[in-house]
Structure 1
Amino acid sequence: MNKVTVRNLHLTDLQQPNMLPQIIHKLSQGEYYPALEKQIEQNSRLDRRKFEGFTDVEMMYYYVHQRKHIRQNRDRKHNTKVEYLRNLLQFYRYAAESRQFLKEDVKDYTEDSLLKNLRPWHIRHYQEYLQTAPLGKGGKPYTAATLDGKLTILKSFLKWLYTSKHIDFPLHEEFLGTSLSGEDIPNRDLYYHEVKQLLDYYQDHPIHHALLTMLAMTGLRVREVAEAKWRDLYLDPLSGHYRLKGVGKRDKPFDKYIHPVLFERIIKYRERRRVSIEMNPDDNGPLFPNREGDHYTYKNLSNLIIRAIERTDLPFLKQRKEKVTPHFFRHFYAIYSRQQGADIFLIQKELGHQDRRTTERYLEKVLQREQEIGMLWNQDNF
């Protein structure tokens, strides 16, 4: 596919599963965006609707790539764009497969756009389909959390289409609520005695030992660990401690305290990889290089850590319904910090949560135990 095929993608292409990875890759690239902006400008000059002449694929493409900030690095990241496209194309393929039905079901059917032919009841049917279809892991329906994420993206897209006057019906209002209850939220709590077992298991393995310690003692996301550079580790002249600076989710900068024990394990990791251990503000290489000396992709690093944890076959892992992933260590960071007396606001700040409620969800069990009135009783009275 070349540059102009964003416009020329055909429904039959979108309906072929083997074509989907190639299509998502193509649509995730931003080189076609300026041409669409130029078309919008031309429409404005001719007093046309903003998106007049846009194909459905171009509407999805523009929505995913649309600029919202003067600084490009504040817009959606590549992986976010891929996730949005995957969900929007899943919906669009469903509509494409129902094209003949739509022709018979919709009065004044228009041939130039499937999106413009959608009606409120079609959205309700799609939500029911997603809720029951065996599309999740192991051929089961999607979990409540996955379903909520998918429908949130779709609802946002349909609302944008309506407010942009590209479609005539407020389809986004047709979705039934998908907010998660406590039972729907996966239990990703991880506790000190469990983390300690993992660290003890790998105490003679410099690679896994350092990575697990890094996750546990910083609360960083696995992507942030994968993207960390050696030059970003520095000795703070104010405190005399080592620190790691970087940029995290939503382009929020972080500056993490690195405990001496963690620093020692980072050094052992780098010695095992046979890379420099001399501090160098000009060294743009990875903090944790892979075997080739390059940065891990965050998915590869995540999979490496998941496999390392599984291989321990520790008893507490067998009691869990799902695999322990790097994200669990963010929960551990919150829980252990609270147990050590940290304020919720400070924990929220350290984890980079926008909403305090997210932090409180991480700490739900800990906060419940803190308020357990039975602990106020004197058992000797019984």
Structure 2
Amino acid sequence: MRNFSLVHIGTEVRERRGDFNKIVSLMLDSKYYDALEERNEHHQRKNENMFSDFTDGEMMYYYVHQRKHIRKDRERKENTKTEYVRILLQFYQYAVKSESFLRQDVDYYIEETIFKNLRPWHIRNYQDYLSTALLGKGGQPYSPATLDAKMTTLKSFMKWLHETKYIQHPLHKEILSTSLSEQEIPNRDLYYHEVKQLLDYYKDHPINYGLLTMLAMTGLRVQEIAKASWGDVYLDSLSGHYRLRGVGKGGKKFDKLLHPSLYERILAFRERRHVSTALNSSDQGPLFPTKDGVYYQYKNLSNYIVRIIERTELPFIKERNDRITPHYFRHFYAIYSRQQGADIFLIQKELGHSDRKTTERYLEKVLQREQEIGLMWKEQDF
């Protein structure tokens, strides 16, 4: 049985029924997926193309929710799906607005679909538009990093449409490279003296002090901190240290050391929120609860961190051209660990990086300084 809302995504976009966020919410609702899989199976049994009767909306929906791993905890996370949906719908809105042009521009126009009528030059036009339109922060064009992320997702989607034979033309091949040069890679480095200033600023504020210390001393992602449970904290009988267990990006398990100073600040945070500070493995409440005692939405927590950092108006904050986000603390964790003598492999493992190159990018300046030839000179010779 077909779902009316998914079938008519194109109509809703075209006629602007409801706002963009409502369409995003519809596309993120996973309850329609099983019905689409049943239709696929039906087509396969008849030796038909799996997606022969799918609409554009259903193709976007299926691409975002498609299952690739037998374990659900290894599937795409909700924040990843949200990003994919927004990128695909942004492209779809652009294409829908050009529908009247497409009818004149394409021979043998196919009704009730946009994707099947697209041609290589339409993709090139969209990329030109996206790279120059004033849609980024502050009414500016998208940053190279944002543009690269958007086009990478779109290219993957277009390639999938072609592989599934939903479209005839290999449109993904028309997307020009958006890879970043070394100069365009955002500088997310954060150093000890900067982190120390932030911590000192908020040392009398248990909420901010606890959150910033957690980011700095664990290297965890803000999503991982937001969803951490108090019951996942335990006392390790082997070392006598408190630790936090959890599952991070890509379903990777972590088991993080909580230094005594960090643990004390976690307890102070929880005391201020008026929740239990006694270890309890069955307590599935949040490690860092909101004022209402519930889990933070990770985006809300991320925005909160950005705001409290900007609010300090410390000199190094004012000197930066970018906003310091929670992700910067992962760079700090890598940099400080290296400065303390940690091997790159150990840092990679702690941060959960699949590729060593990612860790090396975090440490780029530190590694350059370590290999600086001038350090081999004997200064007294001059």
TM-score when normalising by structure 2: 0.97
Q: Which residue of 2 aligns with 1:48?
A: 48
Structure 2 unaligned residues grouped into runs of 5+: none
Residue 49 of structure 1: CA displacement?
1.2
**Residue 17 and residue 320 in structure 1: after superposition, are their counterparts in 2 closer, same or farther (change >3 A)?**
farther
Is residue 221–residue 330 contact of structure 1 (8 Å, CA) maintained in 2? yes
**3-state SS of paired residue (2:245):** strand
Is residue 74–residue 250 contact of structure 2 (8 Å, CA) maintained in 1? yes
CA distance in 2, matches of 1:373, 1:54: 61
**3-state SS of paired residue (1:33):** helix
CA distance in 2, matches of 1:15, 1:242: 56
Q: Which residue of 1 aligns with 2:85?
A: 85
Residue 88 of structure 1: CA displacement?
0.5
**3-state SS of paired residue (1:204):** coil
**Residue 94 and residue 15 in structure 1: after superposition, are their counterparts in 2 closer, same or farther (change >3 A)?**
farther
Instruction: Quote the sequence identity (%).
Output: 63
CA distance in 1, matches of 2:168, 2:54: 16
Q: Which residue of 1 aligns with 2:173?
A: 173
Task: Kindly indicate whether residue 151 of structure 2 is the aligned counterpart of residue 151 of structure 1.
Answer: yes
After superposition, the C-alpha distances for 1:93-116 in whole angstroms (9 at most, x for unaligned) are 111111111111111211132111
Q: Which residue of 1 aligns with 2:346?
A: 346
CA distance in 2, matches of 1:20, 1:242: 45
Is residue 335–residue 363 contact of structure 1 (8 Å, CA) maintained in 2? yes
Residue 15 of structure 1: CA displacement?
5.6
**Residue 12 and residue 210 in structure 1: after superposition, are their counterparts in 2 closer, same or farther (change >3 A)?**
closer
Residue 9 of structure 1: CA displacement?
2.8
Residue 222 of structure 1: CA displacement?
0.8
CA distance in 2, matches of 1:153, 1:325: 23
CA distance in 1, matches of 2:345, 2:14: 46
**Residue 260 and residue 211 in structure 1: after superposition, are their counterparts in 2 closer, same or farther (change >3 A)?**
same
Q: Which residue of 2 aligns with 1:256?
A: 256
Is residue 3–residue 31 contact of structure 1 (8 Å, CA) maintained in 2? no
**3-state SS of paired residue (1:73):** helix
Residue 8 of structure 1: CA displacement?
2.6
After superposition, the C-alpha distances for 1:217-272 in whole angstroms (9 at most, x for unaligned) are 00001111111110111001111111100011111110001101111111111111
Is residue 10–residue 96 contact of structure 2 (8 Å, CA) maintained in 1? no
**Residue 215 and residue 135 in structure 1: after superposition, are their counterparts in 2 closer, same or farther (change >3 A)?**
same
Give matches, 1:149-228, under 5 Å: 149-228=149-228
CA distance in 2, matches of 1:342, 1:15: 57
CA distance in 2, matches of 1:4, 1:28: 15
After superposition, the C-alpha distances for 1:50-84 in whole angstroms (9 at most, x for unaligned) are 11111111111111111111222221122211111
RMSD: 1.4
96-105 or 5-14: bigger deviation: 5-14
268-277 or 141-150: bigger deviation: 268-277
**3-state SS of paired residue (1:257):** strand
Number of aligned residue pairs: give it: 381
CA distance in 2, matches of 1:81, 1:249: 13
Residue 154 of structure 1: CA displacement?
0.4
Give matches, 1:1-382, under 5 Å: 4-14=4-14, 16=16, 18-382=18-382
**Residue 277 and residue 316 in structure 1: after superposition, are their counterparts in 2 closer, same or farther (change >3 A)?**
same
Is residue 11–residue 96 contact of structure 1 (8 Å, CA) maintained in 2? no
Residue 18 of structure 1: CA displacement?
5.0
Counterpart code for 2:332: F
CA distance in 1, matches of 2:36, 2:293: 40
Residue 4 of structure 1: CA displacement?
3.2
Residue 307 of structure 1: CA displacement?
1.4
Residue 340 of structure 1: CA displacement?
0.3
Is residue 219–residue 351 contact of structure 1 (8 Å, CA) maintained in 2? yes
68-77 or 9-18: bigger deviation: 9-18
**Residue 361 and residue 15 in structure 1: after superposition, are their counterparts in 2 closer, same or farther (change >3 A)?**
farther
After superposition, the C-alpha distances for 1:113-155 in whole angstroms (9 at most, x for unaligned) are 2111111111111111100111111111100000000001100
CA distance in 2, matches of 1:109, 1:8: 19
Residue 17 of structure 1: CA displacement?
8.4
Counterpart code for 1:72: K
Structure 1 unaligned residues grouped into runs of 5+: none
CA distance in 2, matches of 1:77, 1:290: 22
Is residue 144–residue 180 contact of structure 1 (8 Å, CA) maintained in 2? yes
CA distance in 1, matches of 2:273, 2:3: 41
**3-state SS of paired residue (2:300):** helix
CA distance in 2, matches of 1:195, 1:58: 46
TM-score when normalising by structure 1: 0.97
**3-state SS of paired residue (2:254):** strand
After superposition, the C-alpha distances for 1:294-339 in whole angstroms (9 at most, x for unaligned) are 1111112112211111111111101100111111110100000000
CA distance in 1, matches of 2:112, 2:314: 58
**Residue 175 and residue 161 in structure 1: after superposition, are their counterparts in 2 closer, same or farther (change >3 A)?**
same
CA distance in 2, matches of 1:330, 1:243: 18
**Residue 12 and residue 240 in structure 1: after superposition, are their counterparts in 2 closer, same or farther (change >3 A)?**
closer
Residue 3 of structure 1: CA displacement?
5.0
